[in-house]
Amino acid sequence: MRARALLAVLFLLVGCVSCGAGEATPGDPLPTRARDGDHLTIGIRFDAPGLSQRTIDGRFVGFDVDVATFVAGELGVAPDHITWRETTPASRESDLASGAVDLVVATYSITGKRKQQVTFAGPYFVTGQDLLVRLTSSDITGPESLNTRKLCSVTGSTPAEAVRDKFAQAVKLVEYPRYPDCVTALLAGQIDAVTTDAAILAGYAAQNPELLRVVGRTFSTERYGIGLRKGDLDGQHAVDDAIAKMISTGGWLRSLQANLGPSNYPLPPPPEITEK
């Protein structure tokens, strides 16, 4: 009787192991999760015209969306097996750490501080910080012009602090949850400028060309990377390979021309992939 009980337990354990085979677990590297789960949840922004935006009819469009879709395809995941999840500057690290998303493609600048919490692949795009102002604000020519003026950025991002610390100590900082809130406040005259990366600002200027302009003087270098869970080197290498393939096959440039070209943003050359 005892032997039969032990044999039954053994069969049960073997059965459980075989049942679990092929199922992705949160601790697996990104390529394994993509292969075994045949699905990815990708964190993007919903509010960055030209880069990553949810349209009124529910579609997701933009350069970041194209990059994320291409990477997913190289990992074996079809577009209709992607779940798009909104991630904000304040939540990107926690979204990755908690497993809420598998990767983040959301105008995510690579910095030393962020690399303490996140493993990056890329960069896949390089831009620089700039200012969005009203068309009539001809006296704002750069960050030094912002002393005593109101400057807006979003909660959890760092561009406004950089302006205060490096260029205009008397600037008055204003924070909103989203950049569209900053743009609305700018159009209403409640603030004097919005700061973030030039590529993001160009999309908002293109929506209101008769009212807004990008100053056109970048004062930082922002290298957009794809965020992965900390320590996922297999994922990093796979995503780097996918970015390199998108660049070499021409898809990278075609997407830039389609998504950022209409804003007259000067398209940069492909970046060197340095996160390896």
Residues 36 and 113 occupy one common structural domain: yes
Lowest mean pLDDT among 58-67, 98-107, 155-164, 198-207: 155-164
Which tens digits make up the pLDDT trace of 187-244?
999 999 999 999 999 989 988 889 999 998 899 899 999 999 999 999 999 999 999 9
Query: What is the mean pLDDT of the segment spanning 2-27?
Result: 46
Q: Is the pLDDT of residue 133 over 80?
A: yes
pTM here is: 0.83
Task: Measure the CA dihedral 255/258/259/264, to 10°.
Answer: 120
Does residue 16 fall inside a structural domain? no
- Per the model's pLDDT, the better-predicted residue between 31 and 153 turns out to be 31
Residue type at 103 in one-letter notation: L
What DSSP line would sit under 98-145, residue for residue?
HTS-SEE-SS-B--TTGGGTEEEEEEEEEE-EEEEEETT-TT--SGGG
Residues 63 and 193 occupy one common structural domain: no
Helices 233-248 and 251-259: crossing angle in degrees, nearest 10, is 80
Q: Which of 39, 48, 38 is nearest to 84 (CA)?
A: 39
Q: What is the CATH number of the domain that holds 156?
A: 3.40.190.10
Identify whether the C-beta of residue 19 lies closer than 8 Å to the C-beta of residue 5: no
For residue 62, the enclosing domain spans: 27-127+223-263
Is 160 buried (19+), middle (13-18) or exposed (0-12) by CB count in 10 A? Answer: buried
- The pLDDT confidence band at residue 69, using thresholds 50, 70 and 90, is very high
Rg for the chain, CA atoms, rounded: 22
Residues 178 and 238 occupy one common structural domain: no
* CA 133 – CA 215 distance, rounded (Å): 7
**Residue 31: how many other CB atoms lie within 10 Å:** 17
Residues 198 and 160 occupy one common structural domain: yes
Sheet with 60-61, edge to edge strand ranges:
47-48, 52-54, 60-61
Residues 122 and 135 occupy one common structural domain: no
pLDDT at position 8, please? 44
Residues 122 and 179 occupy one common structural domain: no
Does residue 11 fall inside a structural domain? no
pLDDT at position 155, please? 77
Lowest mean pLDDT among 2-16, 60-74, 90-104: 2-16
Q: Which of 253, 113, 123, 265 is nearest to 200 (CA)?
A: 265
pLDDT at position 1, please? 47
Query: Who contacts 99 (Cβ-Cβ below 8 Å, separation ≥6)?
Result: 26, 229
* CA 206 – CA 263 distance, rounded (Å): 5
Residues 200 and 247 occupy one common structural domain: no
Residues 79 and 193 occupy one common structural domain: no
Q: Is the pLDDT of residue 15 over 70?
A: no
What is the CB-side half-sphere exposure of residue 108 using CA atoms within 13 A? 34
Does residue 51 fall inside a structural domain? yes
What DSSP line would sit under 207-221, residue for residue?
HSTTTEEE-----S-
Which tens digits make up the pLDDT trace of 36-53?
999 999 999 998 999 999
Q: Is the pLDDT of residue 276 over 90?
A: no
Does residue 7 fall inside a structural domain? no
Query: What is the mean pLDDT of the segment spanning 169-194?
Result: 94
pLDDT at position 244, please? 97
* CA 224 – CA 235 distance, rounded (Å): 17
- The pLDDT confidence band at residue 18, using thresholds 50, 70 and 90, is very low
Domain count for the chain: 2
- Per the model's pLDDT, the better-predicted residue between 27 and 35 turns out to be 35
Q: Is the pLDDT of residue 185 over 60?
A: yes
Which tens digits make up the pLDDT trace of 81-125?
999 999 988 899 999 999 999 999 999 999 999 999 999 999 999
Give φ, ψ of 253 to 5 degrees.
-70, -40
